[in-house]
Amino acid sequence: MRDRSSRPVVMKVKPGISVAAAAPERATAYLRPLLRFAAAHVPAGKHKETPLYVLCTAGMRLLPERLQAAILENLVKNVPLEFDFLFSKSHAEVISGKQEGVYAWIGINFVLGRFDHEDEEAAVVTVALGDQVESLVRRRTVGILDMGGASLQIAYEVPGSGAFSSPQQEETAKSLLAEFNLGCDVQHTGHVYRVYVNTFLGFGGNFARQRYEELVLNQTYVHNRLRSQRTGLSPETPFLDPCLPMGLEDTVTRGSQTLYVRGRGDWQACALLLHPLLAGSNSSQDSLIGAYKAPIDFSNSEFYGFSEFYYCTEDVLRLGGRYSARAFISAAQEYCSQSWEVLTQRFQSGLYSAHADEHRLKYQCFKSAWMYQVLHQGFHFPLDYPSLHTAQLVYDREVQWTLGAILYKTRFLPLRDLRQESSRQAHTSWLRLSFVYNHYLFFACILVVGLAIVLYLLRLRRIHRRSPRTWTLS
């Protein structure tokens, strides 16, 4: 949707609605600017039939349930007093990470037109649906990879029903698979999709760096104690960090411990050092290696990488777009091997993206190694995989989970309206047709009756002429 100046009709406010936790009675006031903006762009006569949804994500999920309920209750009670949108208690909820992933998956595939099954030249997949004997062949969808600062998420379609090695794995898979119908009628199974969605907390770029620093701190402490050394205890004897650019000096502080580090820019050594972090803790839920992952047909699939996948490839390395592992590794190694002085000079000369800042320069070496490990060791993407694209915009627009959410929530509404309109049109057409039909039928009947009378009179006349006359003489 665009305004009269052809600008996108978009409004964002920060921070999130979870800030109302301190005063839930102010939740409606928080949303008021957004709702006024929406009300100004939706025709006033359509407000009462325009559904409004308030869907809350990670910030609200972190709050206690009583605070979540208090915020939502305030919205349900007060929003209808100020706005005429179609809004009820069922339209306000805190969604799960799984729902958020599904909505993001719907959004990107909708923008790319992957729900249009009429394109005969597009790549296709064979999908097994429930108890149906025959499989369905339809257009191939894309999977998504999204790495933020704290978490990592993946979502992709699972065409086959598959088999499970154990009842425990089957139970785990059920919690990670979402099956839903995007068709306009529940009876039509052509748009039933089965999607694997998983969110890995602590595997985002910034949290991974924190975990790495704790690992280095602990290992250095043990190493010093066993060998009676003082590595990292002073600027003169720093820990040589392979994940920082050559010559960059930094400190890592945890509680009362401080570790002095200096970058040595060895990308391969960094990648090896990060591999244990994929395992997380002993819990499989916190492990990228041990977690259940639905099988991916890498020979017939396509993925889009967002957020850190894009920043890590584009902001400094300028490799955003179609991903090539060979080109990425080469560029990352070259970057890491450069001295910090050279990198800052390049930055000041404007050789990097406008979105790059000093934080990006400092941790680019680490994050590129982490992204590599996540992609190829955690999710097992082949090094020669040709169908991964890193992106921030798709068709020059930002694709967010909110687009998928509104598509999913309102998927049955258009058909219902169309059916009602079709019913009215059909009824009206039938009335018109009946009137016209009866009108002509009436005249046709009169014509037939008139012709019948004329024919009858003509026949009587002929009979009268042929009859012999009898004369009587007296």
Q: How far apart are CA 155 and CA 171, in angstroms?
A: 18
Label residue 414 exposed, middle or buried (CB < 10 Å: 0-12, 13-18, 19+): exposed
303 Cβ contact list (under 8 Å, min separation 6): 142, 143, 144, 145, 156, 381, 387, 388, 389
Q: How far apart are CA 163 and CA 154, in angstroms?
A: 21
- The single residue listed with the structure tokens 């064979």 is 126
151 in a known ligand binding site: yes
- The single residue listed with the structure tokens 């050559």 is 246
152 in a known ligand binding site: yes
Q: How far apart are CA 269 and CA 266, in angstroms?
A: 5
Q: How far apart are CA 52 and CA 391, in angstroms?
A: 29
Q: Quick count: other Cβ atoms within 10 Å of Cβ 116? A: 12
Taking a C-beta distance cutoff of 8 angstroms, is the pair 125, 299 a contact?
A: no
Q: Which amino acid is at 234?
A: S
Taking a C-beta distance cutoff of 8 angstroms, is the pair 57, 95 a contact?
A: yes
- The single residue listed with the structure tokens 């921030």 is 392
Please report how the helices 358-372 and 325-337 are oriented relative to each other, as an axis angle in degrees rounded to 10. 140
At residue 196, φ and ψ (nearest 5 deg) are: -90, 130
Q: Hey, which residues does 258 pair with through a beta bridge?
A: 253
121 is catalytic: no
Q: Hey, which residues does 200 pair with through a beta bridge?
A: 152
288 Cβ contact list (under 8 Å, min separation 6): 152, 200, 203, 278, 279, 280, 374, 378, 379
Taking a C-beta distance cutoff of 8 angstroms, is the pair 211, 217 a contact?
A: no
307 in a known ligand binding site: no
Q: How far apart are CA 330 and CA 110, in angstroms?
A: 34
- Give the E-state strand segments of 148-245 in sequence order: 151-157, 177-181, 192-201, 239-241
400 in a known ligand binding site: no
Which of 100, 157, 213, 308 is catalytic? The answer is 100
169 in a known ligand binding site: no
The binding site consists of 149-153
Residue positions forming the annotated binding site for ATP: 149-153
Residues that are catalytic: 100
